[in-house]
Each structure stands twice: as structure tokens, then as C-alpha cells.
């Protein structure tokens, strides 16, 4: 005889918290947030407070109710230690239209990443399916029967220890850029999960921080149709790390390194 006791699903009321949010754009139907590294996007077991959703609820105003309450307003998300731009829906209609635009690849999402080692070409496309790692459910992996995933990468600068890349997402799988780059032998610097966590002193990175930043977000407004274009300069911790990584290849001072290295072109 086998007896199984299934525990009840843990549910908690999601409450607003007085956490500062860097809102770079807002209107009646959406807002764009520049998320810092270290902040989880939405509540889940192990992170029921201190998330971006808690912060948005705390500042007041409507959020779309598509999906679960703990994901209020969230059209897409960023990993905890990934900084940068993401769009939040304030109405259900905007949420549906923005989700459709992402699915149809009409939303431009470009990330700055520094990887260990040097790519074999200045530009390449990584087209490999991604799913949960069958040996570790907390990780993602390249799995033949996984969901299709495609990432374009362009090398913007080559340093002694690695490359600065612009990564463009065609799909939005969990950990996609990190998994894809690790799969070709060039993990993101500082990525403890996918093999890039060593050599922090060489990279000048603080603990628990990987070099991945959602720097460029562009899309048509879901209601007005106006083209929106948002750019986030490298945060201070990554700018300092890039100065260390560049070594003798001195970067210009007084200007965002991404602008100087032609990221937005």
C-alpha cells in the first residue's frame, strides 16, 4: 500500500510595499521600469516580499489582472540578477496586446552581456530548444524536445578575458541568453548557475552578479501605435566591471560605455 498526502498549494495575499521603483515612462495603459539587479520580478515561494510586483502595488495605480495575482501587470520578466528595462501593463487590454506583440517578435529586446572567452565570429545566431534541465529542475538546459529558442549575438568589443556582446531575443525562454551562451562554451561572466561564476576578481564583479543588462527596449504603443524606444545605460556596478575587464583598452570617460561602444547602432 502506498499512501500519498498532497499538501495544499501555498497561497499568500500579495501586498504593496514602499520600495522605490525607477519608472522611465508611464501613461494610462502601461509603464516601463528599469529594474535593479537583486530584485525578483514577482512573488513566489522563497520570495514573497521585496519583489517588483510588491513595489508597483505599493506605489498605487492599476495593474493588469491577466494571470495570477502575484504576476499583476507582468508582461515579461527579467532574472533576479539581470538589470534593465521591462514593460508593465496597467490594463488587461494592454497586457493582451503587448503579450501578442512579444509572441509575434514585434518587441525589440536587446541585452548587453560580457562572456568568458572569444566567440568564433563577430556575429552569430544560436537556435537551440530550451527546457527544464532533467537532472536539476532549478536550471534550464538545451533539450531536443524543449521549446524553440533563438538568440542573435553581435560582438561589440574583444578584451583579453572575454567579449562584450549585444544579444537580441527572438523568443523569451527562461534564462535564454545565459543558457545559449553557455551552450557554445562562453558563459556570461559572473553566472554561477551556468558556469561563468569563477574569476570575479578578474571581472571586477560583486558577489551574486552576472554581467547581463536589458539595455534596449522598443515597441509600438499597444493603443496609440506610436513607436516607443527606451535605453538604459550600464548600471554603476557593471560599468566599473567593464572598466576592469577592458584593462589596457581604456574606455571613454563621461559617457555611457554602451553608447561609446556603438551598442545602440
79 is catalytic: yes
Q: What is the 3-state secondary structure (H, E, C) of the chain?
A: CCCCCCCCCCCCCCCCCCCCCCEEEECCCEEEEEECCCCCCCCECCECCCCHHHHHHHHCCCCCCCCCHHHCCECCCCCCCCEEEEEEECCHHHHHHHHHHHHCCCCEEEEEEEEEECCCCCEEEEECCEEEECCEEEEEEECCCCECCEEEEEEEEECCCEEEEEEEECCCCCCHHHHHHHHCCCCECCCCCCCCCCCHHHHCCCCCCCCEEEEEEEEECCCCCCEEEEECCCCHHHHHHHHHHHCCCCCCCCCCHHHHCCCCC
* Catalytically annotated residue among 79, 92, 133, 192: 79
Active-site residue list: 79
Amino acid at each position: 500500500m502506498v499512501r500519498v498526502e498532497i499538501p495544499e498549494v501555498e497561497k499568500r495575499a500579495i501586498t504593496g510595499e514602499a520600495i522605490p521603483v525607477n519608472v522611465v515612462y508611464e501613461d494610462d495603459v502601461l509603464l516601463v521600469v528599469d529594474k535593479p539587479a537583486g530584485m525578483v520580478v514577482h512573488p513566489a515561494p522563497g520570495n514573497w516580499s521585496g519583489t517588483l510586483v510588491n513595489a508597483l502595488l505599493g506605489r498605487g495605480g492599476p495593474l493588469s489582472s491577466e494571470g495570477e495575482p502575484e504576476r499583476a501587470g507582468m508582461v515579461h520578466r527579467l532574472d533576479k540578477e539581470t538589470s534593465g528595462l521591462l514593460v508593465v501593463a496597467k490594463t488587461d487590454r494592454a497586457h493582451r496586446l503587448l503579450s501578442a506583440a512579444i509572441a509575434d517578435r514585434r518587441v525589440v529586446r536587446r541585452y548587453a552581456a560580457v562572456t568568458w572567452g572569444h566567440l568564433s565570429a563577430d556575429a552569430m545566431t544560436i537556435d537551440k530548444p530550451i527546457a527544464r534541465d532533467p537532472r536539476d529542475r532549478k536550471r534550464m538546459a538545451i533539450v531536443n524536445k524543449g521549446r524553440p529558442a533563438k538568440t542573435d549575438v553581435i560582438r561589440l568589443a574583444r578584451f583579453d578575458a572575454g567579449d562584450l556582446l549585444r544579444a537580441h531575443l527572438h523568443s523569451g525562454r527562461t534564462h535564454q541568453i545565459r543558457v545559449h551562451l553557455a551552450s557554445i562554451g562562453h558563459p556570461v561572466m559572473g553566472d554561477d548557475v551556468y558556469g561563468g561564476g569563477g574569476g570575479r576578481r578578474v571581472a571586477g564583479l560583486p558577489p551574486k552578479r552576472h554581467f547581463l543588462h536589458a539595455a534596449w527596449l522598443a515597441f509600438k504603443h499597444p493603443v496609440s501605435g506610436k513607436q516607443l524606444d527606451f535605453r538604459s545605460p550600464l548600471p554603476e556596478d557593471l560599468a566599473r566591471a567593464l572598466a576592469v575587464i577592458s584593462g589596457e583598452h581604456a574606455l571613454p570617460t563621461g559617457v555611457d560605455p554602451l553608447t561609446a561602444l556603438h551598442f545602440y547602432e
